[in-house]
A = this chain, B = another copy of it.
Amino acid sequence: MMTIKDVAKIAGVSVATVSRVINESGYVNIDTRKKVEAAIRQSNYSPNEVARSLYKRKSKLIGLLLPDITNPFFPQLARGIEDYMQENGYRIIFGNSDENADKELDYIRTFVQNNVVGVISSTNFPDSGAYLEMNIPVVFLDRTSNDSPSVYADGRKGGRLAAQEMVARGSSRITIIQGPAHVKPAQDRFQGAAEALAEMGISYNVIQTSSFSYTEAGQWATELFERFLDTDGVIASNDIVASAVLREAHRLGKTVPEDVQIIGFDDIPLSSLMSPSLSTIRQPARDMGSAAARLLIQLIEQDQVEDKIIQLPVSFIERETTRSRMETSKKG
């Protein structure tokens, strides 16, 4: 009869580690866990008991709340999360919040009732009591909240980049499309663009919008050129809105990027297939998803986690809706 010591010897790990794997308690590196499981199979150690715990155990569930999976930024996030969770034996209960506090609360309540061991949430209400009361780890994704664990891209830097590239490529009558007021990352990118233009001494127009919806995007694009027909550079609130602006510019007989340059935000997959392809500020959405998943698993499995606030970099993706950088230095 094999003992736990034999299993530990075969796996080349300590008895305590084997015990942690069997009892699913404490943190075990995924590779180590696989090694131990292989050793258990090989040694035939206590098959009834252990086989059951290993092969019939429930996957741990985590809850995932996103505003709306049909906004093409979020499937990328979700995919990054799901891939990482799947590899590590976690499963996801998923809900769309529609940025509605009641719907969000309803989901959080049912997450808890279904014994999720952690939650990832892209919420506009990170300071809601609901998150504090859960007593399980929560990671805010694409959002920040004081000292709470969070993963997000540097939106302000993204806005600054968009403004700087727009000016360096020769636009001077710039319009910023300001995203929905209640969406914090949309405001960060707006602030970044506005402050960079101010620093360069460049005046600008602002178009207010209240959603990222496909149907409304077209209306704002129309409004933009009605109000500021001679604008020669549009910093859009995201790639959906940028594609609506591109379409409206074409409809009005403007050439892009000669008459008007356009820079989007997100770098959704279709941006590279548009015609002309869309210059944009890239958020590393899949990486953001993986980072959030990794952080949540650390918070669930480990006592101490060093980096609980993770900011990922953004970058300018040069495609065909912007001109070449000018030889001369910046205007203003």
Contacts and interface: CB of A to CB of B under 8 A. Distances in A.
The majority secondary structure among interface residues of chain A is helix
B82 A75 contact: no
Contacts of A113: 56-59
Contact of A93 (B69, B74, B93): B93
B114 A269 contact: no
Interface in A44-86: 56-59, 61, 68-70, 72, 74-76, 78-79, 82-83, 86
A277 interface: yes
Contacts of A279: none
Nearest to A276: B250
Instruction: Please tell me the size bucket of the interface on A.
Output: 35 or more
Contacts of A214: 269-270, 272-273
Interface in A95-115: 95-96, 103, 106-107, 110, 113-114
Contact of A75 (B56, B70, B86): B70
A141 B227 CA distance: 46
Interface stretch (A130-138, A170-178, A239-247, A322-330): A239-247
A91 interface: yes
A218 interface: yes
Contacts of A217: 273
A274 B79 CA distance: 25
Contacts of A275: 243, 246-247, 250-251, 274-275
A297 interface: no
Given A92-B94, A214-B270, A270-B240, A78 B82 contact: no
Given A243-B273, A269-B214, A272-B214, A95 B114 contact: no
Which one of A103, A217, A250, A274 has the highest number of Cβ atoms from chain B below 10 Å of its Cβ? A274
A221 to B, nearest CB: 9
Nearest to A221: B273
A69 B70 contact: no
B76 A70 contact: yes
A96 B69 contact: no
A91 B97 CA distance: 13
Which one of A70, A78, A272, A273 has the highest number of Cβ atoms from chain B below 10 Å of its Cβ? A273
A217 to B, nearest CB: 7
Closest 8 A-B residue pairs measured CB to CB? A247-B275, A59-B110, A94-B94, A243-B273, A69-B75, A214-B269, A250-B275, A70-B75
Given A69-B78, A69-B82, A243-B270, 12 more contacts: A56-B113, A58-B110, A69-B79, A72-B269, A72-B270, A86-B96, A86-B103, A86-B107, A91-B95, A92-B94, A218-B272, A247-B273
